[in-house]
Structure 1
Amino acid sequence: MSDQKHEYQVDLDWKKGRIGTLSSPELDATIEVATPPQFDGGVEGIWSPEHLFVSSVSSCFMTTFVAIAEYSKLNFENLEVQATGKLSKQEGKFVVSEITLKPELTITDEKFAEKAKRIMEKAEEACLITRSIKTKINFEPKVTVGLLD
């Protein structure tokens, strides 16, 4: 990545009530978004800003990990990341106070387990989204050795 500035345009089109659609001129897919059901007027079954916030941390970890793994020549079979955001009140206002990231990496050779864990930790530290937010990140990586079916 160069030292240039990058911009990412996202457009929102309000549909009705607490529901809108996110799009970008750079992307084909749209995402329906709404207030989460835990709040008045919230809607079940639709992505919320809170889901998108947590997913930005999770997906940033994944993309950063893959880049570092490729650079480090670490072969892996699979990566799954469970991410959970906790909403709480601070000074009387709701914030996403912490996110727990639980990545599970599957590799085929035990001798690379420590290297894999170090790369996972490096990716968590290097993720630009994580570095851009004040939310506490709880990081619980796991390396599994085996082959996928």
Structure 2
Amino acid sequence: MSQTHFYEVSIQWKEGRIGELSSPVLEKTIECATPPEFPDGVPGIWSPEHLFVASINSCYMATFLAIAGNFKMEIEDFSCKTIAKLEMAEGKYLITRAEMFPVIRLNDAGKDAEKALRIAEKAKAGCLVTNSMKTEIILTPEIS
């Protein structure tokens, strides 16, 4: 498998501060807009800030599940809430911190909890999205 990959996403402006994201390799589109915290922002629509955090969550989940699979860890359920802090820093808006709260439910938590914790940390270290950003990542896993 090649070590280089390309991902194409386009945006088409619809109206106001709303656009529609698409990719030639995906069937579904995503509507996005300026968030309501900013002038002319639109509530109830995915924003670039939400998509930024969604990238963290989806990459972390994929990385965690891949590593867990390599370690033959049986996962009963996985979810992760991430809260990102956007603030004015260095004279511009930055997402300076993202706190991740993965909840990992195992078939045998008594036997595998320590292993799951190590995998959670390995997934944080191996996530290509968070490795590509300067945002501080804080991980607080819950294993049950």
TM range (shorter): over 0.9
Paired amino acid for 2:21: L
Give the alignment's TM-score, normalised by structure 2. Answer: 0.97
C-alpha RMSD of the superposition: 0.8
- Cα deviation, 1:97-143, whole Å, max 9, x if unaligned, reads 11111000001211111001111110111000110000000111110
Give the alignment's TM-score, normalised by structure 1. Answer: 0.94
Aligned ranges 1:86-125 → 2 under 5 Å: 86-109=85-108, 110-125=110-125
How far, CA to CA, are the matches of 2:90 and 2:51 in structure 1? 24
How far, CA to CA, are the matches of 1:22 and 1:125 in structure 2? 29
Unaligned runs of 5+ in 2: none
2:60 counterpart residue number: 61
1:14 counterpart residue number: 13
How far, CA to CA, are the matches of 1:134 and 1:88 in structure 2? 14
How far, CA to CA, are the matches of 1:90 and 1:62 in structure 2? 29
Equivalent residues, number: 143
2:133 counterpart residue number: 133
1:147 counterpart residue number: none
Regions of 4+ moved over 4 Å: none
- Cα deviation, 1:76-99, whole Å, max 9, x if unaligned, reads 110010011110111221111111
Paired amino acid for 1:5: T
Paired amino acid for 2:88: K
Paired amino acid for 1:95: L
% identity of equivalent residues: 50
CA shift for structure 1 position 3: 4.4
